[in-house]
Chains A and B, each alone.
Chain A
């Protein structure tokens, strides 16, 4: 299945409405040739995990600026595992302090991008770290 396009779910967990970053990343990933699904705002971890499994995505990009990342990111990963999507690559971005980044990586988040990251760097990371999942 090497020819299948990589599918990415861009999701906004939590209650904050700051979708500037999520929308820019979604567009940049789409412009880079990936297939992108954007969930819209105010998603619960259940909604995100459900959408990821339903849409059979290869990766999930989580954007959060409310400070609830330590609660919501690991919850998304736990629910993915529960639903058979444990191999979906989860990455994230937002205002996330360094000590939280270490902790989130330990919990299974593959990469965290903080303010100032170029869209090119994120696209390059996806190319290097995500491949289409086996059917």
Chain B
């Protein structure tokens, strides 16, 4: 096509929703306009949209980049605003960390899986804990009944944590730990295990998720209300900045926001709003932004919509860099860089024809790589059926290795930078996310917004809308609402040994009997005192777990001192 399409003909809808049909009508019938599509060509649908229901134009052109400054908005990799990536050489310098999330059964079971993954060429560890651990209950608590070791590994004591990392040198491997309301105790145990191995805290690299704000918004695993929860997180940020400067004390997570049904824009908006919440809390503690912000890390979802996901990651980086520089006055470039882990979208996988999930995961992982992530988990094909089998995990890891070493996309930095479509979508996601952040600011910040259920309700609304689109087959899930099969051959899945719960419960009871009771009690008393007087919790926590206090016992202290949060159960 030689003629340049007229501005309105090809532009995507400027305002979400309202202008959608007008923009499309313009593209099809604006008098005198050069058509965006070939003359006379009928389109398959009246409206094209992403998985998040963001309308997509027929064609993006140079016109869509008007009003954006090439240097200020797109720039170069490794330079503010980091749209094209946080490092100048990206994967030419170092590939992303391949980090498969793993955990089931007892510490010994998961330790064996860790050794298997490292032997397969995985470059970092990532730990999944079971529900009782995540919710702050020991395996022998009545609320743990039926849940021990099912969704992850069961960790109640320092003895369990020691076994989890048996034979793994914590000075050489970086570990990610997905745990939130009980994160402070797990981190204390991790530091204690490292000490036993003779590894100093300053040499430890890794990440603990520890993002409670997104728990209230999306994943909904909590103990205490938001304010004390944020206080514990700031204690950890402060402690790590001083004692374990290579460790990321929080991973600000959009993953669960997206899994709960949000759109891509909401994922960016609520995640960065949570980040703003942590930065403000740390500043209020008297910490200096350039000191702690370089250790804030992020975690995003990788959904099916390839272009939208690439644009989402670029938009998040640009918006965060601007927030850190302009709102918080950061001057250290590392304080402005959004470095992120990503995981392919569990909610996009289907129980029907599960081998198709390998293809979905490949597309999603490729979006992550083209979007410039620093570490990646690829889901296994069988995750809608059970925890992944060893075979399924290996295919998932091989998917990353094929992208990294066969596909060629790592040979040049940000190969899609400058694409009209990608740049237009990046700007649009940034603008719409920024608008959400303005609304949250107007409510008085993210904690207030959570109190009134704003992000929760926005997400539930989007989730319901998407389900209706699926039910009406307006959105397609292959094998579910299109191309179904009557019957499917079953695939092998992992079964958790039903005796795990019995064995783990017995082990925790034996531990509690054998320890020095007076010392364990004393440890808990010191933790309680710190809860009350505001002293940093990490030093007494490390001492308490070394003295035999269990995860559930410390969380009981939190429950008594900080109170228990209850689900407002909004529909």
Do A118 and B147 touch (CB < 8 A)?
no
Say which residue of A30, A66, A98 sits within 8 Å of B147 (CB atoms): A66
- Given the known inter-chain contacts A40-B568, A116-B350, please indicate yes or no for A14 contacting B467, CB distance below 8 A: no
Contacts of B261 in A (CB 8 A): 20, 24
B351: interface (CB < 8 Å)? yes
A69-B57 Cα distance, complex, nearest whole Å: 45
Q: 0/1 per residue, B529-571, Cβ < 8 Å to A?
A: 0000000000000000000000000000000000000111101
Interface residues of B in 333-360 (CB under 8 A from A): 347, 350-352
Residue B19 CB within 8 A of the other chain: no
Render B414-456 as a binary contact track against A, CB cut-off 8 A, 1 for contact: 0000000000000000000000000000000000000000000
Within 8 Å of chain B (Cβ to Cβ): is A38? Answer: yes
Contact assessment for B470 and A70 in the assembled complex, using a CB-CB cutoff below 8 Å? no
Closest to B216 in A: A17
Q: How far is the CA of A52 from the CA of B467 in the complex (A)?
A: 27
Contact (A116, B352) CB under 8 Å given A38-B571, A67-B496, A97-B385: yes
Give every chain B residue within 8 A of A114 (Cβ-Cβ): 351
Complex: how many Å from CA A58 to CA B106? 40
CA distance A114 to B351 in the complex (A): 8
Q: Is B151 an interface residue (CB 8 A)?
A: yes
Taking A23-B460, A27-B464, A114-B351 as contacts, is the C-beta distance between A67 and B471 under 8 angstroms? no
Task: Compute how far the CA of A70 lies from the CA of B481 in the bound complex, rounded to whole angstroms.
Answer: 29
A30–B471 Cα gap in the complex (Å)? 16
| Chain B min CB distance to A44 (Å) | 7
In the bound complex, residues from chain B placing their C-beta under 8 Å from that of A116 are 350-352, 477, 480
Note all chain B residues with C-beta closer than 8 A to A72. Answer: 146
Of B146, B493, B568, B569, which one neighbours A68 at CB under 8 angstroms? B146
Is B219 at the interface (CB under 8 A from chain A)? Answer: yes
Q: A26: CB under 8 A from chain B?
A: yes
Residue in chain A with minimal CB distance to B459: A20
Give the docked Cα–Cα distance between A20 and B221 (Å): 14
Question: Contact between B145 and A71 (Cβ–Cβ < 8 Å)?
Answer: yes
Give A63-92 interface residues, CB cut-off 8 Å to B.
Answer: 66-68, 70-72
How many chain-A residues does the 8 Å CB contact rule pick out? 35
A15-B132, A95-B385 known; A24 vs B463 contact (CB < 8 Å)? yes
B220 CB contact (under 8 Å) in A30, A41, A95: A41
Say yes or no: A97 contacts B569, CB within 8 Å: no
- 14 extra interface residue pairs, beta carbon distance < 8 Å, beyond A15-B144, A20-B261, A119-B467: A15-B132, A15-B134, A15-B143, A17-B215, A19-B567, A24-B463, A24-B467, A42-B567, A66-B147, A67-B151, A68-B131, A70-B146, A118-B470, A118-B481
Which A residues form the contact surface with B (CB < 8 A)?
14-20, 23-24, 26-28, 30, 36, 38-42, 44, 66-68, 70-72, 95, 97-98, 114-116, 118-120
Q: Write the residues of chain B forming the contact surface with A, with a CB cutoff of 8 angstroms.
A: 131-132, 134-135, 137, 143-147, 150-151, 215, 219-222, 259-261, 347, 350-352, 384-387, 460, 463-464, 467-468, 470-471, 477, 480-481, 490, 493, 496, 566-569, 571
30 residue pairs A–B, Cβ–Cβ below 8 Å: A14-B146, A15-B131, A15-B147, A16-B131, A16-B151, A28-B467, A36-B571, A38-B569, A38-B571, A41-B220, A41-B567, A41-B569, A66-B131, A66-B150, A66-B151, A68-B131, A71-B147, A72-B146, A95-B351, A95-B384, A95-B385, A95-B386, A97-B385, A115-B350, A115-B384, A116-B350, A116-B352, A118-B470, A119-B467, A120-B471
